[in-house]
Amino acid sequence: MALLKVLEFPDPRLRTKAVDVDPAELATSAFQTLLDDMFETMYAAPGIGLAASQVDVHKRFMVIDVSDDRSRPLVFINPRITAREGEQVYQEGCLSVPGIYADVTRSNVITVEALDRHGQPFTLTADGLLAVCIQHEMDHLEGKLFVDYLSPLKREMVRKKLLKARRAA
């Protein structure tokens, strides 16, 4: 397994809309290795979700594990949200926007349909942190970042702060 490079805001590649994964691709060792590498990268960060778009693979899949002990790894391939209820505000962070956190309003309960890592379809109803994480990662697949929920002024402040931090590193 290997750690992957995570793209950081304002990299324009983060704005690329992902395309569906061909189900024939799921059986390849390269795809399965990529999933394992994404989990390793996410856990090392440490994070609770990572969309393929964040590692410069612009296909519709993501890995998530919101458990404290890394015991519930989830893979969502070609995910689609089919139902939403309520609202919740969560303070979100992002591996592509390091060190920045902001309150974002999202649906409280969602139902998502996807394929698992072996191509088996499943439906999952999620709430709380898992629902937030799924919505956050699915935004990445659409080329959207959590900073897009901020005012233009705050988003520009985040951009400048990250660019300054990169220059200093």
* DSSP-assigned beta bridge partners for residue 50: 63
Specify if 2 maps to a domain.
Answer: no
Is 133 annotated in a binding site? The answer is: no
Sheet of 49-51, strands arranged across? 49-51, 61-64, 74-85, 109-115, 121-127
The more confidently predicted of residues 133 and 156 is: 133
Specify if 63 maps to a domain.
Answer: yes
Shortest CA distance to 113 belongs to which of 82, 72, 75? Answer: 82
Contact of 61 with 78, CB cutoff 8 Å: yes
Is 140 annotated in a binding site? The answer is: yes
Specify if 30 maps to a domain.
Answer: yes
Specify if 7 maps to a domain.
Answer: no
Q: Look up 113 and say whether it is catalytic.
A: no
Cis bond before residue 10 (omega within 30° of 0): yes
Amino acid 148: pLDDT: 95
Is 118 annotated in a binding site? The answer is: no
How deeply is 94 buried, as exposed, middle or buried, from its count of CB atoms within 10 A (0-12, 13-18, 19+)? Answer: buried
Tally of domains in the chain: 1
DSSP string, 85-114: E--EEEEEEETTEEEEEEEEEE-SEEEEEE
Task: Calculate mean pLDDT across residues 129-158.
Answer: 95
Specify if 32 maps to a domain.
Answer: yes
pLDDT in tens, 20-38: 999 999 999 999 999 999 9
Specify if 28 maps to a domain.
Answer: yes
Amino acid 169: pLDDT: 75
pLDDT of 159 strictly over 90: no
Band the pLDDT of 167: cuts 50, 70, 90. Answer: confident
Specify if 43 maps to a domain.
Answer: yes
Q: Which domain holds residue 104?
A: 12-168
Residues 8, 25, 85, 137: which is the catalytic one?
A: 137
Q: What CATH number is attached to the domain comprising 23?
A: 3.90.45.10
